[in-house]
Amino acid sequence: MITVTEEDFDISKTIEEATHPDVGAIVTFTGIVRDDGINGMEIDADEEPAMQELGRIREEALKRFDIKSLDIIHRTGRLSV
């Protein structure tokens, strides 16, 4: 699954969906906005090219590594501290 979204999402739901008896690890990366004297940040993405590039990265990872499932969620829009 590849998703580019401005909507908040529940990472615990994504982890739960990836949990399977054949899976020995689940790896996540979650970026957060640091409180460096700002109120937040805006992340823009041109959805179609982003989906294509993320799809290419996903396919390469699935070919190179013994991965059962690979989900990518790219959050865009306004992110608050």
pLDDT in tens, 15-32: 999 999 988 899 999 999
| Model confidence, pTM | 0.81
Q: Which residues contact 2 (CB under 8 A, 6 or more apart)?
A: 51, 54, 55, 58, 71, 72, 74
φ, ψ of residue 61 to 5 degrees: the values are -65, -40
Does residue 76 surpass a pLDDT of 90? yes
CA dihedral 47, 48, 49, 54 (to 10 degrees): 80
Percent with pLDDT over 90 in the chain = 80
Residue 56 belongs to what domain range?
A: 2-80
